[in-house]
């Protein structure tokens, strides 16, 4: 399966992961336990050794709106809050029991500023995160729900083994019933 968060392919990412594994504090998050709470400053970043996390906010009707996910061998944080040490705009919770290696802001900042190579890596990381967010924004404005679903499943065919259909529907911003109709339509088209 293609990596969900493509920034993980950056050169030097191996060193960054190793920093978490060697110096991070191993924490266990139970299902539905918050990693980041909206309105609070995010002082930590985590490397997901095993498990899964969901980034979300609440809409005006009170329902959760899923924004993204972090799975095994990925990082979990609200990056803008972490980077600028400001209040988080979203919540992040574990969607299954998860083992995470956590490092505080200061230690990661020190890693980034250790030398020019690490500073360049931090710049590339921020650029990659921005590019992913921007591509997502364009898709929300320009693609239909069906197109968003098809792109997601073609790019990440194993995604449905990691999240529920309800979570997938929320991610592409449709009701679960609409996703069912989209899946049925695609299935009928593939069968003919």
Query: Which residues is 99 bridged to in the sheet?
Result: 28, 50
Residue 64 lies in a domain: yes
Residues of the domain holding 103? 8-116
Whichever domain contains 60, its CATH number is 2.60.120.10
Does residue 170 lie within any of the structural domains? no
**Is 41 contained in some domain?**
yes
Residue 97 CA to residue 78 CA, distance in Å, equals 19
For the stretch 180-191, pLDDT in tens is: 999 999 888 887
Per residue in 96-122, pLDDT (tens digit) is: 999 999 999 999 999 999 999 999 989
Q: Which of 10-19, 85-94, 141-150, 168-177 has the lowest mean pLDDT?
A: 10-19
Structural domains counted in the chain? 1
Classify residue 23: in a domain, yes or no: yes
Cα–Cα distance measured from residue 28 to residue 64, given in angstroms and rounded to the nearest whole number = 24
Residue at token pair 């969901």: 54
Handedness of CA 184, 186, 191, 192 (dihedral sign): positive
Question: Within a domain: residue 159?
Answer: no
Residue 89 within any structural domain of the chain: yes
- Please give the span between the terminal C-alpha atoms of the chain, in angstroms, as a whole number: 27
**Token pair in block for residue 143:** 């693609």
Q: How far apart are CA 28 and CA 19, in angstroms?
A: 18
Check if the beta carbon of residue 179 is closer than 8 Å to that of residue 144: no
Pairing, β 44-58 against β 64-70: antiparallel
Name the pTM for this structure.
Answer: 0.84
Domain annotation covers residue 121:
no
pLDDT in the model for residue 9:
55
Q: pLDDT tens across 13-39, in order?
A: 888 999 999 999 999 999 999 999 999
């Amino acid at each position: 399966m293609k990596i969900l968060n493509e920034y993980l392919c950056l050169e030097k990412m191996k060193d960054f992961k190793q920093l978490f594994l060697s110096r991070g504090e191993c924490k266990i998050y139970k299902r539905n336990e918050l990693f980041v709470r909206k309105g609070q400053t995010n002082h930590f970043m985590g490397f997901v050794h095993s498990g899964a996390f969901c980034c979300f906010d609440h809409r005006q009707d009170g329902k959760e709106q899923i924004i993204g996910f972090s799975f095994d061998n990925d990082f979990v944080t609200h990056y803008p809050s972490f980077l600028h040490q400001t209040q988080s705009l979203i919540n992040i919770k574990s969607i299954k029991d998860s083992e995470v290696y956590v490092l505080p802001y200061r230690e990661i900042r020190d890693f980034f500023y250790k030398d020019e190579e690490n500073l360049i890596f931090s710049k590339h990381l921020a650029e990659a995160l921005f590019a992913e967010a921007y591509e997502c924004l364009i898709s929300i404005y320009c693609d239909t729900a069906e197109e968003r679903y098809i792109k997601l499943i073609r790019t990440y065919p194993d995604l449905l083994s990691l999240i529920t259909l309800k979570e997938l529907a929320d991610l592409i911003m449709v009701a679960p019933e609409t996703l069912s109709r989209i899946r049925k339509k695609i299935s009928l088209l593939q069968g003919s």
